[in-house]
Structure 1
Amino acid sequence: MRLPCALSLLVLVATPARAGAAYPAIPEPMIFDMMRPLCAAKGELEINALAQTVSPFRPRSAEWAPELEYAYADGHAIEFELPFDGARLAALKIGLQSSLGVSGDGRTAHGIQYLGIHDRDARHYSSSLLYLLGHRYSSRWSSMTMLGVDRISLDGGSGRNALLFNHAAFYDANADTVLGAELNMAGGADRSLKVSPQIHRRLSAAINVQIAAGFEKQRHEALRPTAGLRLVRQF
């Protein structure tokens, strides 16, 4: 599916966030990031960078990506990302996210997310579309679930229209610390499973640091440990 088709689908499906709706406060997953929370207000701006590696002793092999996220309207955000593989710029990425509404009791929110990635080596553009469901169970417990399709193609084909599933559970330990566990699953040719226990620590009103250590299993490869770090600056 080409970019114009995917963007048209997003516009058709996404509806404006209900004015004055009280969205639940739910942390963003660290590994499979969102483009601001579903409750984002117009004008919110964030820059962040995620670094991940399967070998803490080989930092040059780390994958990392600086991102810029901006809420251009209440409940609607756009993201620009530059994924690097070591020192090499591997891809160009754009994302769009829209809130679809909140439950009457204000505990459940849902939305939709579009991701477009241009692989610079393969010179190929791919699209993904996900449904987002967030729920606040109590003052301390919450979760975010993301379910969708990767490498969308109306013509099908090997590795196309593969399942994407991400689920993160969070526990608010205190006002500045969130503990979480994130599960990432991908189907298709790049079938993989990743589990990432993580901690989010707010250092100030505008700065947040997130650290994860877990494991991943990719198709035809052995289970291996992983580590990650995300630095966030809000404006």
Structure 2
Amino acid sequence: MRIATATTLLAIMLTAATGAAAQPAYPVIPEPMIFDMMRPLGAQKGEMEVNALAMTTSPFRPRAAEWAPEVEYAFADGKAIEFELPFNGAKLEAFKLGLQAAFGASADGRSAHGVQYLGIYDRETGRYSNSLLYMAGHRFDARWSMMNMVGVDDIALQRRNGRNALLLNHATFYDVAAGTIAGVELNVAGGRERLVRVAPQLHQRLAAKVNVQAAAGVEKHRHHRARPTLGVRLVREL
């Protein structure tokens, strides 16, 4: 998809969010660790966060780790932007831009939904790709909540060579105690690689604005055996 078409998608997304009627307060739902959000759906203007995710299937080979520092900023109520630098070991592989818009809350403030756009420029190939996802979260009670994200990766006008592939992310969370959240995240990505990953995880708040998240799970790529995967994300709100 050309960049101009991607820009049109962003304009539609932000216009729809701006036109939403007044809604109940947004529910407090944790963000998935691996496929994270650009601030919670109910983020207020001015909120800012820096974080970094590191993932590896070879814990004893640090150079094989994939990691990505990023900055997230809510430039308006319910709207956020993200800049990310994906690395593979010491190599900067891409530049990544994300935009997110909340559409409102319902069910007396227990449910919320929105949309997320991701644009990635691959430095090696010079190729630009897009993905677009719909997000729907729900808080069942004081302890249980979930976040669902479903969409299309590598958007194109014609489906070929793995483009227009399914993206699916589901996360279920349980608030164990104040500052401690347990969860499990399911990632499914179509296309050439066809990845499926299941990642049980723990989120622990260390200070008022510092959070650490850790996951240990398993992933399976097409034509490859299932293998263990480890991950950690450090979060600092500003």
TM-score (norm 1): 0.97
What is the CA–CA distance in structure 1 between the aligned matches of 2:52 and 2:4, rounded to whole Å?
A: 28
Q: CA deviation at 1:4?
A: 2.8
The aligned counterpart of 1:204 is 207
Per-residue CA deviations over 1:45-84 (Å, capped at 9, x if unaligned) read 0000000000110011100000000000000000000000
Fraction of identical pairs, as percent: 63
17-26 or 74-83: bigger deviation:
17-26
SS in 2 for 1:15: helix
| Equivalent residues, number | 235
Q: CA deviation at 1:221?
A: 0.5
Q: CA deviation at 1:2?
A: 2.1
The aligned counterpart of 1:11 is 11
2-11 or 210-219: bigger deviation:
2-11
**Cα RMSD after superposing both structures:** 1.1
SS in 2 for 1:203: strand
Q: Does 1:185 pair with 2:188?
A: yes
Counterpart code for 1:228: G
Moved over 6 A (4+): none
Runs of at least 5 residues in structure 1 that lack an aligned partner in the other structure: none
72-81 or 101-110: bigger deviation:
101-110
Q: Does 1:213 pair with 2:216?
A: yes
What is the CA–CA distance in structure 2 between the aligned matches of 1:100 and 1:61, rounded to whole Å?
A: 39
TM-score (norm 2): 0.96
Q: Does 1:139 pair with 2:125?
A: no
Runs of at least 5 residues in structure 2 that lack an aligned partner in the other structure: none
What is the CA–CA distance in structure 2 between the aligned matches of 1:60 and 1:91, rounded to whole Å?
A: 17
Q: Does 1:161 pair with 2:164?
A: yes
- Classify 1:24/1:74 alpha carbon distance in 2 versus 1 (closer, same or farther; 3 Å): same
Counterpart code for 2:149: M
What is the CA–CA distance in structure 2 between the aligned matches of 1:179 and 1:76, rounded to whole Å?
A: 27
8-17 or 183-192: bigger deviation:
8-17
Q: CA deviation at 1:20?
A: 6.5
- Classify 1:18/1:228 alpha carbon distance in 2 versus 1 (closer, same or farther; 3 Å): farther
What is the CA–CA distance in structure 2 between the aligned matches of 1:18 and 1:205, rounded to whole Å?
A: 32
What is the CA–CA distance in structure 2 between the aligned matches of 1:104 and 1:180, rounded to whole Å?
A: 23
